[in-house]
Each structure stands twice: as C-alpha cells, then as structure tokens.
Amino acid sequence: MRSGAVERHTAPFQAAPFQPAPFQAASLPAARFPTARLLAARLHKAVRCKLATQDQLTRDPRAACAQRAGRDQITGLILCLCRDTRGQRDPELALPRYPGEGPRDLSKPLEQVRVLIDARTAGQRLDLALAAILTWRSRSSIVRMIDKGMVRLEGRLVPSSRKVKLGDTVEVDVPQDPVPQPKADVNFELPILFEDEYMIAVDKPAGMAVHPSGRHLHGTLIHELHRRYRRPEEPEHDVVPRLLHRIDLETSGVVAVGLDEQFHQLVRKQFEDRLVQKAYLAVVHGRPANDQGRIDFGICPDKQSAVRLKLTTCDPGLGQSAITHYRVVRSSPRFSLVEVKPETGRTHQIRVHMAGIGCPLVGDKLYGADEQLFLQGIAGELTAAGREALVLDRHALHSHSLTFYHPRRDREVTIEAPLPREFAELVP
C-alpha cells in the first residue's frame, strides 16, 4: 500500500496529479509552559496506565481518561493549557484539488479502511492526521468515530490526542452516511436525470429560475427540491439541497444539486477549477462559416446599448477573456443546431459569442437582431410581429450534458438531458 494513502480504485478521470501543500504540525512552544507540559505528560502517562478495560475506551475514551484522572480542576486546567490549540487542517488539504485524487465510496456500513502514516502526518494528533488524509470527512466526525471505538492505532483503541508515528497503521470502520428520504406526499414533476444519496440532477424547463432572485421569488427549482427533501421536524432525515451550478431562466437542461455537504464542496471545487465538462445545444440563425471552431473574443459591456446589462464582444486583450468551442450538428435552410462547449464561464458567454460570429440564438431577445424586443418583453408589450420574429418564446439554449468526477462513487459521471422537442422541430 502506498504510504499516506487510502486503498482505492483508480479513477478514469485524467487530470494533473494532486500536489498538496506541506502540512505544518503545530503545537505550543515547549518553553511557554515548561513545568505545566512536564506535569501534564506525567499525568497523561499515569492515566493511561490506570485505564482498566477496553470497554471504557470503546464507550468514550476521553471521558474515561477524565474519570481516571480525578475531578481535580487544577489538573484539568493544566491539561487544557497544554493541549495543542493551533493544529488545524491546511486549507489546501481540506479538499482534493483534482478529481483524480478523490476518495472512493466510503458510505458503506462499517467499511474498514487502512491508512499508513507517512512523513506528512507523522508527529500529529490522531484526529488531525486522519483529517489530513480522509479529506472527505470533517474533523468533528473523525473525533466522533474515535470516541465510539471505530478507530484503532496499531490494533489498539486510543484517544484523539494520541500522537502518531511514521509507519503507524490506522484502521477505520467508516459508518454509513444517512440516506435522504424524499417526502412521500410531494408530487415532484421535474424529470429526474440522476439521483443517489449524494446528489440529484434534473431536466430544468425553460422559464423556471434555479433560485429566488429579482422578480422570481417563488416556484423556483430550489423551492421544489426543498419541498422534496427538507424535513426539519426529523433532523436525521433533513437534507438541505445545494446548487452545484446555475443556468439562466430561459435555458433548459441539466442542473445538478448536492444533497450532501461534503459532496457539494468536493464537486463545487471541480466547477471552480474548470474541471467539469459542460456541453450545450443551441439553435442559431443561419450557419457558422466553419462547421467547428474556437471563439476567443473578449466580453465587455455594450456601451451603445440601451440595456444596461447587455454585453458584447471585443478584442481578446480587452474586457473579460472568454473561450467557446462549437460544432455544427446539423442544419436546415434557416437554422443550425450547434453543440457548444464553453471553456470559461462568463455571463451570457454562449449568447454573446454566437452573436459575435453572426449566428445569434433563435428566440434571443437581447442578443438577436433587435434589442427593442427585449425592452418590449420586459414591459409586457411584445407584439405578434415581434413573437414571429423571435420564432421561439425563449432563447434556444439547452444544457445538454455535464461530465464530472463523482467523489463518492470514485468514477466519472456523465448526465445528459434530451434535446427539447421545439429544437428538433426547427432543425429536423
């Protein structure tokens, strides 16, 4: 077994290797409380020698230590003063930076995991060392497992404060995480594309906001998911859905939502590091000059527009850098179905870039031929002629697929949403 690592399957996701920042073991300087530290060490040694049975440690090793040490407040104060208070996890170690270093599925009941202590974690407290290696688990959950007798150092039950040495073997019985239980009485009508105990992905319809904002304070996607999963009256089954990403109001397609806090953190990190592969399908006016290509125009505010939020393309050195890859799937006399893969995630990036190459999205009021249609739509004064010019009552953009590393399943996952019927009718 590789030193300092957990036995796991090899992930198919190819990414740069994880290079964690060096972990700095922290402790109070010995010169600060020399007498207290010496006394505490002697007391701790004496307490360990007097521990009677393994059952006491299994129930609560720290409580057992306290009972055997007596009820002397001075002793407790000395131990408190000498406790390591600065040993915190390095932020770079809190989450795997790249999915290829993600953990295997550890949600199975009492799955035994063997960890070998290496130079990076040697000399640290047991709970700190495990928190640096088992990054998908919080330090508090690790302490709870140690207290319940689910962690053994060289085959022995020890308290969280025990220092580990180079080459030590730690065995961990990983408990099962609670599985979210959807409410039986909730009529959830959104198409579910993927669901397990850690996440759900749905095919969001056009016109539904993903979360409350502006004029859309009710009936959002997150509202529907809260109705499905929230159970405040049953804390053991209460699940808080957390958005992993967002798409626009008029954009349809895949939206992924985390049901587990640690899973959410791990996958959000992939989104932030641009490790998630996104593919969109768009119906555009006309046909691009090339059947596939790369658009690298910068994106900046359109100062000539009457709409404050409107953006436009500019030279790559100006504005925000943005890169979009596209491929023509098929065409009709008037329209083209285009697969679009944004390399960056700028506001309105796909719509701005496709308009910048002369192929605006069908139904796009803001970036189409006439922005007055946008102003009329906001005012509720869109005419029949305007609707005919738009062709669709929404911009023709669909979140077709997401590909990411599932840190609990230890494999790459691709989630796809089918092509909307109105898109297929425009480009048969």
- The amino acid at residue 420 is P
DSSP code of 20? Answer: P
Biggest CA-to-CA distance, the chain: 89
∠ Cα 249 250 255 (to 5°): 65
CA distances in angstroms from 311 to 104, 121, 213, 319, 377, listed in the order given? 43, 50, 21, 10, 18
Q: By C-alpha distance, which of 171, 172, 177 is closest to 108?
A: 177
Q: Which of 248, 260, 370, 410 is catalytic?
A: 248
Strand 298-301 versus strand 311-314 pairing type: antiparallel
Cα distance between residue 221 and residue 203, in whole Å: 10
Cα distance between residue 402 and residue 409, in whole Å: 16
CA distances in angstroms from 275 to 176, 270, 347, 404, 410, listed in the order given? 28, 5, 18, 7, 15
Q: At what angle do helices 73-82 and 61-69 cross, to 10 degrees?
A: 130
Pair of tokens at residue 83:
């406790």
CA distances in angstroms from 44 to 35, 114, 151, 157, 161, listed in the order given? 14, 27, 20, 16, 11
Cα distance between residue 14 and residue 10, in whole Å: 10
Cα distance between residue 140 and residue 157, in whole Å: 18
Task: Based on the residue annotation, tell me whether 296 is a catalytic residue of this protein.
Answer: no
Cα distance between residue 103 and residue 6, in whole Å: 8
Backbone angles phi, psi at 10, to 5 degrees: -80, 125
What is the Cα 101 distance to its own chain's centre? Answer: 15
Contact 7, 1 (CB under 8 A): yes
**How many C-alpha atoms does 329 have within 13 Å on its Cβ side?**
17
Tell me the three state secondary structure of residue 218: coil
Pair of tokens at residue 239:
């699940």
Catalytic residues: 248
